[in-house]
Amino acid sequence: MKSTVLFFCLAAFSLSACNQTSKDNQQAATTDSLGHESMAMDTVHTSQNSLDWAGTYEATIPCADCEGIKTNITLKNDNSFSITSEYINKNSRVVDSGKVMWHDNGSVVHLTGKETNMKLKVGENRLIGLDQEGHEIEGPNAHLYVYNKVEGEK
């Protein structure tokens, strides 16, 4: 009788120790040896498949020799685009179209056409202009390179 009670006590203790080890292992997967939490990258949800990115975006970006360039970009669900850039007070306008390529796990669009070669980070109802190296533009005028969505695709 004593051996049966002892057996059950040891079995219960062993099971609880296994359960504690499992919890510790789960925490070790998200916490490094210094106690810093690490975030797992979400590879399922991207701007490309999670956001309503198709539509028309507008911004007036800086210009070296004019008051600005009013730019209108339309992204289409068939991975094509059109862009119109109007140089304010210069009577100059550039219209182009081409193909949209997705980069950086579906978070950046690369627009290539006859006159266009630009990368934009896709966010919720906005596109963020990137520099030649693919980094977000920084500095006091960074907000001028954000294209806000004005209309969804029809």
Nearest CA to 149 among 72, 48, 70, 79? 72
Residue 38 lies in a domain: no
CATH number at residue 82: 2.40.128.640
Q: Do 2 and 63 share a domain, yes or no?
A: no
Q: How confident is the model at residue 73 (pLDDT cuts 50, 70, 90)?
A: very high
Residue 128 lies in a domain: yes
Q: Do 67 and 127 share a domain, yes or no?
A: yes
Structural domain for 12, as ranges: 1-31
Q: How confident is the model at residue 151 (pLDDT cuts 50, 70, 90)?
A: confident
Residue 39 lies in a domain: no
Residue 40 lies in a domain: no
Whole-number average pLDDT of the chain: 78
Give the 3-state secondary structure of residue 58: strand
Structurally, the chain folds into a number of domains equal to: 2
Q: Do 52 and 7 share a domain, yes or no?
A: no
Report pTM.
0.68
